[in-house]
Structure 1
Amino acid sequence: MPLHPSPRPDPSEELKAVALRLFVETSYAGASLQQIADAAGYSKSSVLYHFASKEALLEEALTPAVVRLDSLFQGSIGRIADADLRGTFVEDFIDFLLVYGLEAHIIINQGQSLAGIPIIDRATDFLRRLSDSFVNELATPEQRIRLGIALSGAAYVVATGVAMQATDQAPIEEARSALIAVVTELLVPFAAPAVTL
């Protein structure tokens, strides 16, 4: 009985994955639709069949991450300052990064240059609101700086693949555990200072 080749993945999903990778490697502005088509093994007309423009491709590629970002941050208010809830927030944040690392990289590193694109504006608005809530929630500049370094550092490590380089020898769970431990350790000093009377 002849073997059947495995079917090629859904073209739109494949194109979104390739586009995300190229948008990170060369930037959104630096990646053309032709380069995306070539990297995915399609014609440019095939890309345009699935996506009306490069902006539409970006919009479709980022939407799942931005929807998840919204739900993550909607539930984050009050969790950073509360020692019991902080651990769950850190785990949720690391899990988000492990699933949407490329998307996070694009939003964080190219957000300003991509202002005006609706999905980018939506994501940066979430980040701004989150930042505003943390400023109000955290008592000291040191706490705010610790949080910024912890979250942005984790995003950088995941987006650049530093955390994943060990996955050849170790399962993803080890990288996840290490990221959670380091971010949590950075946030340990969040305990409220003792009030003296």
Structure 2
Amino acid sequence: MSTHEELRAIALSEFASAGYAATSLQRIAELAGVSKSSVLYHFASKEQLLESVIGPALDRMDGVLALLENSGSVSDSQAFLEVFVDFLLLHRLEVNMFINQGPSLVDVPVVDRANSIVARLATFFSQNTQSLEDNMRFGIALGGAAYMLCTTHAHGIEFPADETRAALITIMSELLAPVSTR
């Protein structure tokens, strides 16, 4: 693993566990066994490092959401759920950061972008379900899955990936089964 990638991995882990505000570039440097100036060589600022850490996950979620928006319907929710669960499993630390830290990181561009994607997702379901109850089902299913994966990982609880994926898709499908679309 290159120094650049190692710094990103360490930063993601520290930002997710200790919090972005509480994690210093010096701490990341110490954990990587390099100097702070080496971190700054790879990333001009802590904010740029955060962008590097979260940006790829946001790009992927933006793509997932664009597919959903282009379909204009929640009728194929099973396919969306599978893609969404795969996203959560691959990017659980990034999701943990913008679920748990997003509200406190005001005016941080990458966090604003994450919040915007979450708002787009909520708006899509709000506009494409027939009732408040159906809209809430989507919110509970998606948000609950994301929160569960984030908190279990934060507490050192790990489930086998294949079993977790299958269980989440089954449970979320059951939660959304009664949803009627426009």
With structure 1 as the length reference, what TM-score do the two structures score?
Answer: 0.84
1:135 is aligned, of 123, 126, 131, to: 126
Larger radius of gyration: 1
Q: Is the 8 A contact 1:80 1:89 kept in 2?
A: no
Report how many residues are paired. 179
Which residue pairs with 1:160 in the alignment? 151
Q: Which residue of structure 2 lines up, in the alignment, with residue 181 of structure 1? A: 170
* Larger RCO, structures 1/2 (Cα 8 Å, 6+ apart): 2
RMSD: 1.9
- What corresponds to 1:5 in structure 2? none
Q: Residue 111 and residue 73 in structure 1: after superposition, are their counterparts in 2 closer, same or farther (change >3 A)?
A: same
Pair 1:61 & 2:61 matched: no
Whether the aligned pair in 2 keeps the contact of 1:79 and 1:89 (CA below 8 Å) is: no
Structure 1 counterpart of 2:28: 36
Contact 1:21 1:102 in 2 (8 A): yes
How far residue 68 of structure 1 moved from its aligned partner, in angstroms, is 0.4
Gaps of 5+ in 1: 1-8
Structure 2 CA distance, aligned partners of 1:61 and 1:44?
Answer: 17
Change (3 A) 1:158 1:80: farther
Per the TM alignment, residue 160 of structure 1 is displaced from its structure 2 partner at its CA by 2.4
Decide whether the 8 Å contact of 1:24 with 1:102 is kept in 2: yes
Question: Alpha-carbon deviation of 1:164?
Answer: 6.1
**Higher helix content, 1 or 2:** 2
Quick check: 1:158–1:164 contact (8 Å CA) kept in 2? no
In the TM superposition, what is the alpha-carbon distance from 1:22 to its structure 2 partner? 0.9
Which one of 14, 19, 33 corresponds to residue 22 of structure 1? 14
- TM-score, normalisation: structure 2: 0.90
| Cα distance in structure 2, aligned partners of 1:89 and 1:164 | 26
